[in-house]
Structure 1
């Protein structure tokens, strides 16, 4: 019974076993049939559902397109498509910005030039006048403007195109000579290169210009061919401008020799430029097929590779220009038949037995010879126009980069006609003062510079370095020689002439940047060894050198502006980080205020840094905490004929304006809780001294007195300074604080030495200085020329 029940219960699984056996026998055809059915269903659904069209037509010119066109109605337009993108290696180049002159848009022509001996300057002015007259009939053109590269801010014109006037497009013309000495052109070329390579700036940042063209002046006697350096700087400017403008070279580079063919070639170049300008005014384009114009380019024009097959700027200087200078008695200025250069001909280099070195890491179109080793040259060679210009101005050039010059106040003191402010403030007799500099080069192009840009400029020392011993002996000999030349001058006092033959003080200012000299500490040590005090003036652009400076008698920092924009306009620094350098120098000066007597030198230029800047100057004083603040009206030294260069008498403040500024500055310092006061003045120099209360001595004989009955002790005890220096022990400015400031030199008393007799120029009223304080005109005060 139990067995029967079990059989009935499990009878149905056998049917399931039959189905499984059937599946195993026929599974292959079943799967194939199912898959086929699914494919058929998918195909039917895909055909019936409309697809999204990724493109509306085949490629232009294809056989499919022609067949479709034949079947379409005539009035139906076939949309076009873009060809598939091709992905290639490397960075994608930005398209050139196109400028179209339409409607009321105007064209502003800017002419830039550089000149040391004014030859190119005169040529550029004549050229600008001619092109102005020739384009006067076209209303599209504004009156051309001319600029000297020595007196402009490169950032305004050569980083981006000017944006001063709406509906105005700009066109650049650049006329430059080539020199074999360091000039502003070296910094200009460096600026163009840095702008192009600066990752923060578009590589073609001047592409909004309508175009540009360059003309260069060179000397075929010194540089016969382009390979040997003929117009090398013009060619470099042309190359970098091509990169910065997106290759908008409107007319080919023109070149000429002033002795032979420059006039003819310049006239031909001018005609070509005028034709291009007229074409731009009519069409808004550089012309069909012109590189950079946006139009089609002829197929046989090869595109230059990324580097143009050229060496970097610094290597190029060594390879094509700087290494080719030869000794010659001729002038090295290529504006005026420059000096000769010597270089091996290209054929000699190619035919040399030595194999050419090939750089397999960089692709170029042709192998090039290894660049010659860099030749370190002199800052101011004797054959250079810089040397001639400075010597003509009364300098004695010592070695290759130093100079000495007798000061106007030295001559005045020898004749008993008054000393400069240094005697009133610090007790330095002007006839025993030597004014010199171990570096004629500077990193600024100040608007009030005495030299009008004729001295060398640079941001780094790249010249031959003369030993300090040679400079020390040379400047002393040059100074004494100039003193001896005063023997026959009427009015020279015998006793002062005898005193002048012993130098007691050295003002390291003159021109250039003394702290730039690599061995400045050794030079000042030689001065101190002979008990010659030292006043060193720097422009707050070399913080590393300032930090490494050993103690000097008095350390000056020129503070020519209270904010970044004013400093840029007045000092026109070459360093791009000029404001950061300036601020760092103030921090260093603050640290040194207990090691040196530190001084802020404020040069007031009317129209630049006087109006409403007293508060800004007070902030800088609070930051640097100098021992003294000298405020002086700018010295008028003649107006340069260069466009936009130099100052006029309108920029020289009246003495009453300087007094008003000092009073405002003194009040601003008092509001900040800074202990300063007006200590002394020298109205004849248009100069006023504010001093820290550290140098106000009270009845107890100690400095730091804040009472009104305190006495100013701004003068220096020079013997104590040398004793402190020779002791080798740390000392402070108070340790060599001198005697009381004379009553006649204090504020409100004029500051003229009563031992001397003031001589007025013809037509001036003979009044006591104290009676005319506040009324002295800047024209009279501008006679001062002491650094």
Structure 2
């Protein structure tokens, strides 16, 4: 029954009607306010309710908690006791107290520790402290260094955790340690470091909050002539355990000096390197880029093959691996990378000096084709760039690169240099391997570069100036050398030598003479007395003819006939054989201006069988100063497999020796005056030399580099004999294997592997 308004007014009082109207108007805010008040009341009551004590609650089913009952004067209570934490290996990641301190705000405290029995090391340490204080305290970032005698300090105060200080102070440890043949405090110190690392009750790397550390050892080579026999053994032990305790914070390589000869000189070198690292920390707040060392040389012996897949960095005291972006790197067979490069925005207008040069068909005069716009050979956003950097290359500019090889790392660790040391006296740790052109006109089946570098028959890219390339490759090389400073086995003296480039191998990847300004680039090398070893592929005769003298000029001779060359080098030029023959003629013309070399890479099944006579014909045509014969190294890449190359194509060293003997006999039958001069069995490489370098029955294949620069700077004409070096070492001559003493020691330990 429905009531009219005036009827409701008669039934309900006016006040009730007003309340109903008010409720309909404000019902939603009222409901929300009430709900909120109830929730607040519920939370308040929950917080005021007493909680059940953990000791009175049932035990959780966790193996790390053990319930033990202990009885005291008040009764029996159940008490929870945590079981000891089990260390399963690895380094616990810690957050340094100074992590959030910006560079320039943190205070760096250098602590110098020493041990001395006779007082000699103490005297040296105090003099070292005076110099260190003068060099560092000029900057407000550094606190005054402190000197501590290991005989008087409590190890727990410094070598379990760093000293307690305000959050803005960070510590850097230096240790100056002698080695004795009697028990001293150092024996206890080494034992303490070892026990600290192995103690399950504490972190395996309790000193990881340090900025870094470095060790210098004093020894006597008369008592211990070699490291294996004990030279600086205690310093080496401390260096190893400190690497473990600090989480691999070796900031500078272990230095060692002979107290009776070169200790002062080696200490000065080491101090300079340490100060450079400290200044870098002060500027950036971090240790910098570097390959971290494990602290145990034995643990890093398997680091050769894949160590350049990524760069390991120190970033805010944390070890970080810089990984390449996962982009397609399928540029294995590129005759024209224009399609890929077209996606790049890198382009510019060039002047007439950078016109495109057509190398497709050989002629005395190359044709210049005008081009309005050119692109970069290897843009930063291209798959080619990603593939090469992943392999360990540092790309300089748009078409150049630099990389250190495993022999450089081997030489830094005292394990021998490559065949160039046996043949020509080049120490690998002072050699820079680079190229001004990453592009090549061949796609050789044995190429080490995985087919990822660009290829082409014309230069159609931006041309970077030679001074920019020269400075860039040097900086890239030194950067990679510095990344080795934390690797176990690297010594301070070899590290210091490596920071002075003396040789440059222009053979990294691509074709060096392809670069339009190659002469200007080699001139810059020679100006700084850096020798030049240039390798070309015998496909650019005009550029080869225009090349000014280098220290040693190589031409790759990979086959003795047209068909074999087509199969093994897979050249892009249609007239590749004509180009090849012309390059041999040019090399013959240059044989009295500079040292010339034929480089033969033997690939079983391609260019070994029944080709000795054909190679002898090529040698007769070019008359090089030397012929290097090397067995191919198989890289195991898909590109090699696609070309038909497998491990079955890698010749044994005995097969290479047999080929060389057959080739030498063929040269003898032609009366050309060559002989087998030297070998390097570990590189599977043998050297045949012209009798021009045989003096009184002794081979002189090495180079007098200073004499070469004197001849070059004189402006007069000179011949290769004018800078012929000393006699080839007896251990490097044919029949002796070519293994230097350091390599023999490593070989005896089973550490040498084939190149």
- What is the TM-score when the length of structure 2 is the normalising length? 0.52
Take 2:738 and 2:649, find their aligned partners in 1: how far apart are those partners?
24
Task: Render the CA deviation track for 1:563-622: whole Å, top value 9, x for unaligned.
Answer: 000000000000010000000000000000000100000000011000010000000000
Instruction: Confirm or deny: 8 A CA contact 2:675 2:690 kept in the other structure.
Output: yes
Alpha-carbon distance change, 581 to 711 in structure 1, aligned in 2, over 3 angstroms? same
* Among candidates 630, 648, 659, match of residue 661 of structure 1: 659
Aligned equivalent of 2:560 = 562
Instruction: Confirm or deny: 8 A CA contact 1:679 1:746 kept in the other structure.
Output: yes
Task: Render the CA deviation track for 1:721-777: whole Å, top value 9, x for unaligned.
Answer: 000000000000000000000000000001111245543599x599xxxxxxxxxxx
Task: State the 1:495 CA deviation.
Answer: 1.2
Take 2:428 and 2:482, find their aligned partners in 1: how far apart are those partners?
15
Take 2:419 and 2:449, find their aligned partners in 1: how far apart are those partners?
22
Take 1:548 and 1:461, find their aligned partners in 2: how far apart are those partners?
17
Aligned equivalent of 1:523 = 521
- How many residue pairs were aligned? 407
Aligned equivalent of 1:383 = 381
Task: Render the CA deviation track for 1:177-209: whole Å, top value 9, x for unaligned.
Answer: x999998555499xxxxxxxxxxxxxxxxxxxx
Task: State the 1:411 CA deviation.
Answer: 0.3
Instruction: Confirm or deny: 8 A CA contact 2:424 2:702 kept in the other structure.
Output: yes
State how 1:112-261 maps to structure 2 within 5 Å.
Answer: 184=333, 186-187=335-336
Aligned equivalent of 1:697 = 695
Aligned equivalent of 1:604 = 602
Aligned equivalent of 2:397 = 399
Secondary structure at the counterpart of residue 376 of structure 1: strand
Structure 2: unaligned runs, 5 residues or longer: 1-326, 348-369
Alpha-carbon distance change, 452 to 729 in structure 1, aligned in 2, over 3 angstroms? same
Take 1:179 and 1:325, find their aligned partners in 2: how far apart are those partners?
15
Instruction: Confirm or deny: 8 A CA contact 1:181 1:380 kept in the other structure.
Output: no
Take 2:443 and 2:494, find their aligned partners in 1: how far apart are those partners?
37
Instruction: Confirm or deny: 8 A CA contact 1:396 1:403 kept in the other structure.
Output: yes
Take 1:185 and 1:529, find their aligned partners in 2: how far apart are those partners?
36
Alpha-carbon distance change, 323 to 383 in structure 1, aligned in 2, over 3 angstroms? closer
Task: State the 1:493 CA deviation.
Answer: 2.0
Aligned equivalent of 2:345 = 326
Task: State the 1:375 CA deviation.
Answer: 2.4
Aligned equivalent of 1:726 = 713
Secondary structure at the counterpart of residue 630 of structure 1: strand
Task: Render the CA deviation track for 1:358-415: whole Å, top value 9, x for unaligned.
Answer: xxxxxxxxxxxxxx97420000000001000000000000000000000110000111
Alpha-carbon distance change, 765 to 450 in structure 1, aligned in 2, over 3 angstroms? closer
Aligned equivalent of 1:686 = 684
Alpha-carbon distance change, 533 to 327 in structure 1, aligned in 2, over 3 angstroms? closer
* Among candidates 730, 735, 746, match of residue 733 of structure 2: 746
Task: Render the CA deviation track for 1:216-242: whole Å, top value 9, x for unaligned.
Answer: xxxxxxxxxxxxxxxxx6xxxxxxxxx
Instruction: Confirm or deny: 8 A CA contact 2:413 2:489 kept in the other structure.
Output: yes
State how 1:431-580 maps to structure 2 within 5 Å.
Answer: 431-580=429-578
Alpha-carbon distance change, 402 to 618 in structure 1, aligned in 2, over 3 angstroms? same
Take 2:645 and 2:341, find their aligned partners in 1: how far apart are those partners?
34
Take 1:607 and 1:622, find their aligned partners in 2: how far apart are those partners?
24
Instruction: Confirm or deny: 8 A CA contact 1:434 1:506 kept in the other structure.
Output: yes
Instruction: Confirm or deny: 8 A CA contact 1:400 1:464 kept in the other structure.
Output: yes
Aligned equivalent of 1:245 = none
Instruction: Confirm or deny: 8 A CA contact 1:418 1:758 kept in the other structure.
Output: no
Take 1:183 and 1:683, find their aligned partners in 2: how far apart are those partners?
31
Which one has the largest radius of gyration? Answer: 1
Take 1:473 and 1:436, find their aligned partners in 2: how far apart are those partners?
12
Aligned equivalent of 2:40 = none
Take 2:457 and 2:640, find their aligned partners in 1: how far apart are those partners?
23
Take 2:371 and 2:735, find their aligned partners in 1: how far apart are those partners?
62
Alpha-carbon distance change, 179 to 418 in structure 1, aligned in 2, over 3 angstroms? closer
Instruction: Confirm or deny: 8 A CA contact 1:506 1:534 kept in the other structure.
Output: yes
Instruction: Confirm or deny: 8 A CA contact 1:182 1:379 kept in the other structure.
Output: no
Alpha-carbon distance change, 727 to 693 in structure 1, aligned in 2, over 3 angstroms? same
Task: Render the CA deviation track for 1:266-324: whole Å, top value 9, x for unaligned.
Answer: xxxxxxxxxxxxxxxxxxxxxxxxxxxxxxxxxxxxxxxxxxxxxxxxxxxxxxx9777
Task: Render the CA deviation track for 1:402-440: whole Å, top value 9, x for unaligned.
Answer: 000001100001111110000000000111000000000
Instruction: Confirm or deny: 8 A CA contact 2:330 2:452 kept in the other structure.
Output: no
Quick check: which one's strand share is greater? 2
Task: Render the CA deviation track for 1:694-739: whole Å, top value 9, x for unaligned.
Answer: 00001xxxxxxxxxxx000000000110000000000000000000
Secondary structure at the counterpart of residue 439 of structure 1: coil
Structure 1: unaligned runs, 5 residues or longer: 1-177, 190-232, 234-320, 329-371, 699-709, 767-779
Secondary structure at the counterpart of residue 397 of structure 1: strand
Alpha-carbon distance change, 676 to 186 in structure 1, aligned in 2, over 3 angstroms? closer
Take 1:761 and 1:437, find their aligned partners in 2: how far apart are those partners?
36
Aligned equivalent of 2:181 = none
Take 2:644 and 2:372, find their aligned partners in 1: how far apart are those partners?
35
